[in-house]
């Protein structure tokens, strides 16, 4: 499909109301419209959805979007319906639909109304669905969260491994677009290999977050006091403190409260009502700090989170990057402070010990990188970006002086005050 640039911009405006493409979006959209296999690597929040939604809306036929999370699919479908005033323009096909609903979805597809069909990978293993999709006009297949295909990713899903085979059955030569926010070269290789898209046009955005300041402090028994001090120095600012265990979350939230900090706990063990109430309080700024397990953060879009503290070091650089990435979304200041003790690595190792050997080996390799990161004396930013396959020059790169190792090459944290524990 040959299109002038002005056509793409007017389509962007028409469907999404945006005046400008973000980052590499325009090039990606062009690539998809030209029916290339396309591979998109952009950090979370980079605007990956639009890379397949816009070409889907502009073309005849239905784009099939594979996505791992039902909640995410529903959000996206609602958003697309909102912009188009035509309910049938986007549908979800999954096992929760009754017969009538399935019939409606199929009719809309056959009638050319549906431009985006979201499916979970499990739904694609159903023979009747594959048979149906074989018989209709498919514009392309988008595989969102494509890292789920890789054991090296942080969210491996075996059903993703079947996708290549199923796509082949739905129709040979259907363009495939893979999208992920996981930038490690290993995961990327896996995605390309498993989707069979060696010739894909690849678009990789920079993972540099120049407004984030990275700092690691040694973890001592005074860690809670240190955290309290840090939070008090950042009064009235929003922040998240991540802990490994629910128990620690509860304890630390309490310690913070006792010390006059407006804090709430958040973990998957709390009932749904408390969780959503705490989340709302954070968003409404009735509380300043959420002490949480990694259950907190998915889909939370608070732009002015000013600090993310890791009470416990995460299990991989990807996790660290994702979690710290929740700071400074608005481009303003974001302080990322992590506490590190080798003892915590041993705890993480112990967590893995029940798992299959192959998984343990991968987990170990990821942990070694975390150790190297925590113990390095080179720039944290340089380290992270190198891990994601990106070279960074601290002299010329944006945010080049925004980490502890660059700013204070030898400094260790000091000073103590009295705090109630
Ligand atoms: P990702 O999937 O890469 O994490 P999303 O597709 O969810 O990112 O997009 C993140 C946010 O960016 C969304 O709120 C979306 O509306 C917004 N966005 C995407 N593209 C643009 C654009 N061209 N202009 C303005 N906002 C955009
Ligand atoms: Mg996304």
According to the model, what pLDDT value does residue 304 have? 96
According to the model, what pLDDT value does residue 1 have? 57
pLDDT in tens, 338-373: 999 999 999 999 989 989 999 999 999 999 999 999
Segment (H or E) for 104: helix 99-110
Calpha distance 56→77 (Å, rounded): 13
Ligand nearest the Cα of residue 79 is: 1
Residue nearest to atom 15 of ligand 1 (CA): 47
Q: Report how far ligand 2's centroid is from the alpha carbon of 144 (Å).
A: 7
Checking if the pLDDT of 417 tops 50, the result is no
Index of the ligand 1 atom closest to the CA of residue 12: 23
CA angle 395, 398, 401 (to 5 degrees): 60
Checking if the pLDDT of 384 tops 90, the result is yes
Choose one of 26, 49, 52 to mutate for the ligand 1 pocket test, by most ligand atoms within 8 angstroms of C-beta: 49
pLDDT in tens, 236-268: 999 999 999 999 999 999 999 999 999 999 999
pLDDT in tens, 143-174: 999 999 998 887 889 999 999 999 999 998 99
DSSP state of 149: G
**What mean pLDDT, rounded, does the chain reach?**
93
According to the model, what pLDDT value does residue 416 have? 42
Beta strand residue intervals within 232-375, DSSP E: 238-242, 263-266, 289-292, 305-310, 334-340
Q: What percent of the chain has pLDDT over 70?
A: 96
According to the model, what pLDDT value does residue 297 have? 79
Rounded to two decimals, the ipTM of the complex is 0.99
DSSP state of 159: G
Q: CA separation (Å) from 374 to 229, 305, 316, 344?
A: 22, 23, 11, 12
Cβ(195) to ligand 1 under 6 A?
Answer: no
What is the rounded average pLDDT of the residues 10-34? 96
Q: Which of the four pLDDT bands, split at 50, 70 and 90, describes residue 420?
A: low
Q: Report how far ligand 1's centroid is from the alpha carbon of 400 (Å).
A: 26
Output the six-digit token pair for 272: 């749904």
Checking if the pLDDT of 6 tops 90, the result is no
Contact 31, 38 (CB under 8 A): yes
Q: What percent of the chain has pLDDT over 90?
A: 84
Ligand nearest the Cα of residue 68 is: 2
What is the rounded average pLDDT of the residues 390-416? 84
According to the model, what pLDDT value does residue 89 have? 97
According to the model, what pLDDT value does residue 300 have? 72
What is the rounded average pLDDT of the residues 217-233? 98
Q: pTM for the complete prediction?
A: 0.85
Residue nearest to atom 27 of ligand 1 (CA): 47
Q: What are phi and psi of 180, to 5 degrees?
A: -155, 160
Residues 6+ apart with CB under 8 A from 177: 28, 32, 37, 38, 39, 40, 51, 52, 140, 141, 142, 143
Calpha distance 242→249 (Å, rounded): 8
Checking if the pLDDT of 296 tops 90, the result is no
Calpha distance 241→224 (Å, rounded): 11
Length of the chain: 421
3-state secondary structure of 401: coil
Cβ(123) to ligand 1 under 6 A?
Answer: no
According to the model, what pLDDT value does residue 418 have? 46
Cβ(46) to ligand 1 under 6 A?
Answer: yes
Checking if the pLDDT of 413 tops 70, the result is no
Cβ(45) to ligand 1 under 6 A?
Answer: yes
Calpha distance 158→122 (Å, rounded): 10
Cβ(47) to ligand 1 under 6 A?
Answer: yes
Indicate the range of 84-88, 101-105, 129-133, 208-212 predicted with least confidence: 84-88
According to the model, what pLDDT value does residue 72 have? 80
Cβ(42) to ligand 1 under 6 A?
Answer: yes
Choose one of 50, 52, 180, 209 to mutate for the ligand 1 pocket test, by most ligand atoms within 8 angstroms of C-beta: 50
């Amino acid at each position: 499909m040959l299109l002038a640039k002005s056509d793409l911009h007017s389509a962007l405006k028409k469907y999404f109301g945006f005046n400008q493409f973000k980052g590499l979006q325009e090039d990606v959209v062009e690539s998809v419209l030209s029916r290339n296999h396309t591979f998109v690597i952009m950090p979370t929040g980079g605007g990956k959805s639009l890379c397949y939604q816009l070409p889907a809306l502009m073309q005849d036929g239905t784009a099939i979007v594979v996505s791992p999370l039902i909640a995410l699919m529903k959000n996206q479908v609602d958003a697309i319906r909102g912009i188009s005033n035509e309910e049938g323009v986007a549908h979800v096909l999954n096992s929760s639909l009754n017969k009538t609903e399935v019939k409606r979805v199929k009719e809309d597809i056959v009638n050319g109304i549906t431009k985006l069909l979201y499916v979970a990978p499990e739904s694609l293993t159903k023979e009747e669905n594959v048979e149906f999709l074989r018989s209709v006009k498919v514009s392309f297949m988008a595989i969102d969260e494509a890292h789920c295909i890789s054991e090296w990713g942080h969210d491996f899903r075996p059903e993703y491994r079947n996708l290549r085979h199923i796509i082949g059955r739905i129709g040979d030569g259907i363009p495939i677009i893979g999208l992920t926010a996981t930038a490690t070269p290993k995961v990327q290789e896996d995605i390309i290999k498993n989707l069979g898209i060696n010739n894909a046009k690849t678009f990789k955005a920079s993972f540099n977050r120049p407004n984030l300041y990275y700092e690691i402090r040694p973890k001592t028994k005074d860690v809670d006091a240190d955290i309290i001090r840090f939070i008090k120095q950042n009064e009235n600012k929003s922040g998240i403190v991540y802990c490994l265990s629910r128990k620690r979350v509860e304890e630390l939230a309490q310690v913070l409260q006792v010390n006059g900090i407006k804090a709430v706990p958040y973990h998957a063990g709390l009932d749904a009502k408390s969780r959503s109430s705490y989340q709302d309080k954070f968003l409404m700024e009735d509380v300043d700090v959420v002490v949480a397990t990694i259950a907190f953060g998915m889909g939370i879009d608070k732009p002015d989170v000013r600090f993310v503290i890791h009470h416990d070091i995460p299990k991989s650089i990807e996790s660290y990057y994702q979690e710290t990435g929740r700071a400074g979304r608005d481009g303003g200041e974001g302080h990322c402070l992590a506490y590190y003790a080798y003892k915590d690595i041993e705890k993480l190792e112990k967590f893995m010990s029940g798992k299959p050997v192959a998984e343990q080996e991968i987990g170990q390799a990821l942990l070694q990188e975390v150790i190297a990161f925590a113990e390095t004396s080179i720039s944290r930013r340089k380290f992270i970006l190198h891990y994601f396959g990106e070279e960074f020059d601290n002299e010329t790169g944006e945010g080049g002086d925004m980490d502890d190792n660059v700013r204070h090459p030898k400094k260790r944290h000091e000073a103590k005050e009295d705090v109630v524990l």
